[in-house]
Structures are given as structure tokens and as C-alpha cells.
Amino acid sequence: MSRMRFGIFLPPHHVPVGQDPTYSMQRDTELVQRLDAMGFDEAWFGEHHSCGVELINDPILFIAHCAQVTKHIRLGTGVVSLPYHNPFLVADRMVQLDHMTRGRAMLGVGPGALATDALMLGIDPKDTRAALETDVEVLMHLLTSDEPISIETDRYKLVEARLQLDCYSDPHFEVATAAIVSPSGPRLVGRHGLGMISIGATMSEAGFDALALHWDVVEETAQQHGTTPSRDGWRLVGPMHIADTRDQAIKDVAYGIDAWFDYLQHTASAPQLSVQGRSTKERIDFVIESGMGVIGTVDDAIEQIERLQEQSRGGFGAYLMFAHNWAPWEETLHHYHLFANHVAPRFRGTTKRLLANEAWTRSVRDPLAERQWAAINAFTEKHAAERAARGATTGA
């Protein structure tokens, strides 16, 4: 396994509804810029068309914008709802984006989280997972084969279709699929050797319990199709807010957690992301006590990631924080600062030599200090003796 990576999964959730959309998108952009400066590895953006809260309609377009104002962070679609699109056009646009970002763009695909989105497009939500399997097959053929493809579904038709551009990335940009509770995502991962984004990793007991099962499905399907998926491409998603103390974290999230819960409980048609509680206290307690997320300190965040490592039975490549706007802007930025400075290094292993070096220098400090003082005193005495000798000579 490579060093663990860290980032955010940004739907985004701008609650309560009615906030200025232009400013909301600007804040999302500024957040990605801050995360880039803090050393986060990835940011993923959703595609949504209804409910009035998740404002990014086209994550590919948003990535093209963010790529121009960031330097290092990789940017992914989290996710493109592939059954809503012609997979040829998605592949074609992503290849262009791969060049424009010099390989920093990633494609996450899924069946679509909001049933109201599918409803407006005349798609029955019960059909989207089967449609996704077909569409990923077409997408990966276009990316990996020079042979043209012809196919006709009830949503699109392709005739001898082929891409005109090679990818910038070798052999192509990373492709990942969403997984919540059902095995549909893990089956695609195993079949095509994709990455996997476990969006509901902690959002419900079923999601947490499904973690190890998901990878079992991946390995079983991979064996059937001769692919070699890597745990490095497995990303777990969960909400967090940390502060200097747990009391401060609880105070911070009281700002916006009610609106977020209300959205999931009464507006978003995504029952797989279920939350419980009616009052602010009940909702905060639910996050903490259910293990769904973290409202606490650096130590609580570390404990949560260690818990997920154990539950995954073999580890995963990246942890993405589910961005939620529970806290005011400044407190949100402080949360990410604490995570970048104190949580991420614990799992990246980038402070091992610093800590070892400090421990070694502490162990030799006292005897070295004595020798330093001895050297200083000796030189001082030597200097005094030389001055005295010069004075005696001058006086003579």
C-alpha cells in the first residue's frame, strides 16, 4: 500500500436552501484552493440537478475552473451520473480535461443519487444500476481499445464510435465508481479494475458493515474477469468536524447541522444516506454515538480512521471527508488546518523521522550540553589568558 491520501467529497451541501448561488460556488472554489495549499491530495465534486442545495450541475466544468486556480490537488467527478449521459460524450470531454489539467482530473461515475434527477430525465431509478453497467462497459472500451463500438440502448445510439484524442495520462485518467450499500459498484470495480468511492462508508450501520463485503465482491468479480484492482484506488468517505476541544467542535457544528439533517431527512430522495434525530443535541449525539462521523478532536479523527482501517480488513488508499457546512467558514477552515497538520501525517508516515530525531536529540542533550559548556568555558579561559599575556608583553 502507498501512503494514505486525504481529501474531500464535496456534493456540495449549501444549506439552508436560499443562499446566494454565485457566492456559494465561489466559496467552494476557495475551499479547494485552501486545501491545495494545505497539502490535501484530492477533491471530488458531485452532479445534481434538483433539491436546490447541491449546486454543481456539471462537475467536469467545475474541475476545469478549479484546475486554473490550484497547483497540485487532483480533482475528480464525485460522481458523474453516467446513466443521464451518452458515455461517448463523457469520455470525450474527460480526455480533453485530462490534457487541460495535465493529468490531475479523475472520473468518478455512479447511477445517480437523487431520484428526482432521474425523474426529470424520464429515467426510472430502479433501472439506473443496470444502465450504469452497460455505460461503464462502453466507456472503458472507448478508453482502452482502438476498435470502434456500435451500440443502441433506449437512451442513446453509437455507430462505429471511437475517440479522436489519446489521453494525456498513461494509459488513461483514473476511473472510479461509487459504492454505498449495494454490490453494484464493487462489481464494476472488479470487472474493469476501477477505483471505488465508498460514499456511505460510515453514513449508516449497513454502510460500515458493508466495507469488508464490498472488497470481497471486488476480488471475486476481478478473479472472474482477470483484472487486478488495487486497494490504493479505494476511497472511504465520512463526515468530520474537529476543533481544539470536543466542546468547541460541538459548539461549532450547532451552527449548521440542523439544516443538513433536515435536508437529508425531508428533501433529498437518497434513503441510503439516512440520519436520525430531531433536535440539535439528538443529531450531534447521533453522529458521535453511531460512529457515522466525528465531532471532536484530532484524536477522535485518528481513532475513526483507524477504526475504518480495521473494518476494511486490509486497508484502503484514501480517506475523503464528506464536506457539509456544519460550522461557520472560519471554523471550517480551522478544522481542515487541524486535520492537515495533525491527522494526515499520522497515516502518511511523514513525521516518523522528525519524531525519531527529536527523541534521539533529547536522549543525548544533557551530556552534549555539558560538553558544550566545557568547550565554551575552555575557550573563554583561553581568550582571557591570551589577553593577559598580551597585556604583560605590552607592559614590559
Rounded average pLDDT per 10-residue block, the chain, 396 residues: 93 94 98 98 98 96 98 98 98 98 98 94 95 98 98 97 98 94 88 92 61 87 93 96 98 98 90 87 96 96 96 94 96 98 96 95 95 95 92 72
**Same domain assignment for residues 35 and 88:** yes
- Nearest by Cα to 149 from 11, 141, 95, 317: 141
**Same domain assignment for residues 297 and 366:** no
**Same domain assignment for residues 378 and 229:** no
pLDDT score at 184 = 86
Q: Under 8 Å CB-to-CB from 53, ≥6 apart: which residues?
A: 13, 14, 15, 17, 263, 267, 268
pLDDT score at 213 = 81
pLDDT score at 395 = 64
**Same domain assignment for residues 98 and 138:** yes
Q: Which helix (H) or strand (E) segment is 198 a member of? A: strand 195-198
Distance between CA atoms of residues 292 and 201, nearest Å: 8
Cβ atoms of 11 and 43 within 8 Å: the answer is no
pLDDT score at 209 = 60
Number of domains in the chain: 2
- Nearest by Cα to 98 from 73, 129, 67: 67
3-class SS of residue 365: helix
pLDDT score at 210 = 67
**Same domain assignment for residues 159 and 288:** yes
DSSP 8-state class, residue 339:
I
**Domain span holding position 80:** 5-350
Cβ atoms of 235 and 200 within 8 Å: the answer is no
Cβ atoms of 322 and 204 within 8 Å: the answer is no
**Same domain assignment for residues 46 and 123:** yes
Distance between CA atoms of residues 343 and 357, nearest Å: 20
**Same domain assignment for residues 361 and 244:** no
**Same domain assignment for residues 316 and 395:** no
pTM, two decimals, is 0.93
- Nearest by Cα to 274 from 195, 367, 352, 208: 208
**Same domain assignment for residues 225 and 358:** no
**Same domain assignment for residues 258 and 381:** no
pLDDT score at 19 = 94
Other CB atoms within 10 A of residue 249 CB? 26
CATH code of the domain covering residue 250: 3.20.20.30
**Same domain assignment for residues 300 and 185:** yes
**Same domain assignment for residues 336 and 232:** yes
